[in-house]
Chains A and B, each alone.
Chain A
């Protein structure tokens, strides 16, 4: 059994279609902790000690957030700046996070084909997430492919529900070490593993 920590950041949740629903699907799973960053730190004043304690208590760290300007909301950046201290998370003595896994769960207005060399955004989502990837590597963690919800501007309530169920499937699989049985490193998005996981779980 692995413990999962969801680091959730949305500065204007009331305006979000996707995340409002999504979090209802992930809040009550066994061994999953939901940490609502903007709720704990509305003034960006992060309790570093609490955050580090949470990190130590969990094996898989999920960053769930809207994909603002090809990146994350400001509080997550602040979180990285403050919580991942030298010689705690990285550096010659920084081994607190060794072996833990990390990935992003993001919602994006654009469609998936907009995120390609030929698309409007010229880079893939994975390329945009390079800072997260490299941060994980620097902290001697393993960086997993992201779970992505594209086209949120046009998304229907049914679609969102479907994504919610997929998210729940992935989180449960992670908590039960099932995901690791699959060839997860070969996929672009964790979304692709959902069918396999669903058969596994049933």
Chain B
């Protein structure tokens, strides 16, 4: 029973579903919730999951891979280029200084210099998963601290590659076991002749860039045209998994590969769709990863030598903290930002698990030492959310100066146009062109990929995506926009979209296209004030032209149409109220009769003679001396 897949899945999901809301409620953040969930279901407490925790971790590391893909999607190449100073400067210095400091300390404790260096390098890394997840959750990614953290983490992810290359050189004896699992170890490339290796590696990277730039947009277009959302999700996942496999094969970090692919796709019109399709997987897999970390904490080992392990955790974290704080200062972060930055990054990261097992296999570090250190890494990761909460609750309030999630750089791509147009078919595009011509900035969402493609080529700001999804609306800037024009043709979707908007963006003015009278009733009942029956104006315009062709005067025909329109809009409101009646069928029938009455009334009311102001008959009669009464 315990071994079945479904039981396992149930345990993981239940643990997450129970613990994460509790942790959030306590203000501890989701990461700590997941970690606690892992500890509870792990061997230490309920023993639902045992040693397979580490296997799951390998699988769950895919969450980190997806996360970097999503981060890449949010980063345009130009922005990445502007971050190059912080990435190289801050990231490089952080890894370098921490490695040297920890290695030095290790040597003081009498550890061999090669081993010390390995220890230093491994502990210099921080946890991309925990930090980014926590910063995102606290909405701090756009702050200076968030940007600096991101730059440093990115450098660390890159630095793992040379470390993996360097470690075999540190092995004191030549007892190199076959490397297996994890990032970049069992690669096909290592069996190739050494001159060929860099060529294969470089061409793989080039392949990712070229394919991302030129091959994926047409592919997505074809997939989007099938109109099946799950196909789009599948393609997005295939893309990420495919890159991960390719990168692992050539011995590069899969996280780095997908990050690169993300950056390449950041300019694509499918960006938002990709992001929101992949996001749930990212979240769940990351959660799984954190649970696995929690479950793998070796409590018996910790209980065996508590002082040593806790001492190591605290010592290493303080060392990292000092280096980070000093760095933050010299890169002129303000004090509060610097605290967020340093406390956030002071743990040891998930790559350490990989590197420790790798170095143990390579015979660099002893089994005993790596076991101890693995526990240290897990505890330091578990401490991170706590440390961040402490910082937030105890230190930051004392500083008094809080940098708000300040001015976004202009090229951070969330839209803030005043008008969103959902649906850019024949109806929406007319509105869009009209507004564009009047310098009203619009953001357009459309699910027709051909349409999107064509419009983008003409320089319009158009995104591919189903507007009824609140995450997409969010990205399209619905929180800041004033007006949303719903011009999609699907009646069901329109109502769905209205519901979403009312729930998540109640401030937004909603203007909706309606197909006909009955559809307009539905929209009215959904509380919409601005309803535009799509054929009403056009049919009246046609009616006016018919009258003109029949010899009626243009102005009179025009006025007649205007009058009909006003009259029709008024009765529409009355009739929609009838439909609210509980006796639905009765109401519909009555509605029908009313409609017939309206049409009859129009036929006999001499609409064209209503203009009494001009040449009033009573006035003429009076002047002729005839009594008009």
Question: Which residues does A use to contact B, with CB under 8 Å?
Answer: 11-16, 38-43, 66, 68, 73, 109-110, 153-154
CB distance from A104 to the nearest CB of B (A): 18
CB distance from A107 to the nearest CB of B (A): 10
- Alpha-carbon gap, A13 to B623, bound state (A): 20
Q: Which residues of B contact A42 (CB under 8 A)?
A: 553-555, 557-559
- Alpha-carbon gap, A68 to B611, bound state (A): 14
- Alpha-carbon gap, A39 to B556, bound state (A): 9
B620 within 8 A of A: yes
Q: Which residues of A contact B554 (CB under 8 A)?
A: 38-40, 42
Partner of B623, one of A66, A73, A154: A154
Q: Which residues of A contact B611 (CB under 8 A)?
A: 11-12, 15
- Alpha-carbon gap, A55 to B557, bound state (A): 28
- Alpha-carbon gap, A46 to B133, bound state (A): 61
Q: Which residue of chain A has the shortest Cβ distance to B625 in the bound complex? A: A154
- Alpha-carbon gap, A78 to B558, bound state (A): 17
CB distance from B249 to the nearest CB of A (A): 68
Q: Which residues of A contact B615 (CB under 8 A)?
A: 12, 15-16, 66
Tell whether, in the assembled complex, residue B624 and residue A39 are in contact, meaning their CB atoms are under 8 Å apart: no
- Alpha-carbon gap, A177 to B554, bound state (A): 34
- Alpha-carbon gap, A40 to B555, bound state (A): 8
Known: A66-B615, A68-B614. A12 touches B556 (CB 8 A): yes
What are 7 A-B residue pairs whose CB atoms fall within 8 Å in the complex? A11-B556, A12-B556, A13-B553, A38-B554, A42-B558, A153-B619, A153-B623
Tell whether, in the assembled complex, residue B619 and residue A43 are in contact, meaning their CB atoms are under 8 Å apart: no
Q: Which residues of A contact B608 (CB under 8 A)?
A: 14
CB distance from B333 to the nearest CB of A (A): 59
Q: Which residue of chain B has the shortest Cβ distance to A73 in the bound complex? A: B614
Determine chain B's interface SS by DSSP, over half rule. helix
Q: Which residues of B contact A14 (CB under 8 A)?
A: 553, 556, 608
- Alpha-carbon gap, A77 to B619, bound state (A): 24
Query: What 20 new A-B contacts, CB under 8 Å, besides A13-B553, A14-B608, A110-B623?
Result: A11-B555, A11-B614, A12-B611, A15-B615, A16-B615, A38-B553, A38-B555, A39-B555, A41-B555, A42-B557, A42-B559, A43-B558, A66-B614, A66-B615, A68-B614, A73-B614, A109-B619, A153-B620, A153-B624, A154-B623
Q: Which residues of B (283-320) have their CB < 8 Å from a CB of A?
A: none
Partner of B553, one of A39, A43, A153, A154: A39
Number of A-B contacts (CB under 8 A): 47
Q: Which residue of chain A has the shortest Cβ distance to B608 in the bound complex? A: A14
Q: Which residue of chain B has the shortest Cβ distance to A110 in the bound complex? A: B623
Q: Which residue of chain A has the shortest Cβ distance to B552 in the bound complex? A: A14
- Alpha-carbon gap, A40 to B614, bound state (A): 20
Q: Which residues of B (534-579) have their CB < 8 Å from a CB of A?
A: 553-559
Interface centre among A12, A13, A110 (most CB of B within 10 A): A12
CB distance from B541 to the nearest CB of A (A): 11
- Alpha-carbon gap, A11 to B611, bound state (A): 10
Q: Which residues of B contact A109 (CB under 8 A)?
A: 619-620, 623
- Alpha-carbon gap, A66 to B611, bound state (A): 15
Q: Which residues of B contact A16 (CB under 8 A)?
A: 615
Q: Which residues of A contact B614 (CB under 8 A)?
A: 11-12, 15, 66, 68, 73
- Alpha-carbon gap, A70 to B504, bound state (A): 58
CB distance from B616 to the nearest CB of A (A): 9
- Alpha-carbon gap, A153 to B553, bound state (A): 23
Q: Which 6 A-B pairs have the closest CB atoms?
A: A42-B558, A153-B623, A38-B555, A42-B555, A42-B554, A12-B614
- Alpha-carbon gap, A3 to B576, bound state (A): 58
Tell whether, in the assembled complex, residue B624 and residue A154 are in contact, meaning their CB atoms are under 8 Å apart: yes
- Alpha-carbon gap, A15 to B624, bound state (A): 17
Q: Which residues of B (582-629) have their CB < 8 Å from a CB of A?
A: 608, 611, 614-615, 619-620, 623-624
- Alpha-carbon gap, A32 to B262, bound state (A): 72
CB distance from A195 to the nearest CB of B (A): 28
- Alpha-carbon gap, A38 to B556, bound state (A): 9
CB distance from B545 to the nearest CB of A (A): 11
Q: Which residues of A contact B555 (CB under 8 A)?
A: 11, 38-39, 41-42
Q: Which residues of A contact B553 (CB under 8 A)?
A: 12-14, 38-39, 42
CB distance from A37 to the nearest CB of B (A): 9
Q: Which residues of B contact A43 (CB under 8 A)?
A: 558
- Alpha-carbon gap, A172 to B614, bound state (A): 30
Interface centre among A15, A40, A109 (most CB of B within 10 A): A15
- Alpha-carbon gap, A154 to B624, bound state (A): 6
Interface centre among B556, B558, B611, B619 (most CB of A within 10 A): B556
Q: Which residues of B contact A12 (CB under 8 A)?
A: 553, 556, 611, 614-615
Q: Which residues of B contact A153 (CB under 8 A)?
A: 619-620, 623-624
- Alpha-carbon gap, A121 to B143, bound state (A): 77
CB distance from A7 to the nearest CB of B (A): 15
- Alpha-carbon gap, A27 to B615, bound state (A): 24
Q: Which residues of B contact A41 (CB under 8 A)?
A: 555
Q: Which residue of chain A has the shortest Cβ distance to B557 in the bound complex? A: A42
- Alpha-carbon gap, A166 to B563, bound state (A): 39
Q: Which residue of chain B has the shortest Cβ distance to A40 in the bound complex? A: B554
CB distance from A75 to the nearest CB of B (A): 8
Q: Which residues of B contact A11 (CB under 8 A)?
A: 555-556, 611, 614
- Alpha-carbon gap, A108 to B556, bound state (A): 22
Q: Which residues of A contact B558 (CB under 8 A)?
A: 42-43
- Alpha-carbon gap, A68 to B614, bound state (A): 8
CB distance from A6 to the nearest CB of B (A): 17
Q: Which residue of chain B has the shortest Cβ distance to A12 in the bound complex? A: B614
CB distance from B566 to the nearest CB of A (A): 15
CB distance from A165 to the nearest CB of B (A): 23
- Alpha-carbon gap, A41 to B553, bound state (A): 11
CB distance from A150 to the nearest CB of B (A): 11
- Alpha-carbon gap, A19 to B615, bound state (A): 12
- Alpha-carbon gap, A13 to B614, bound state (A): 10
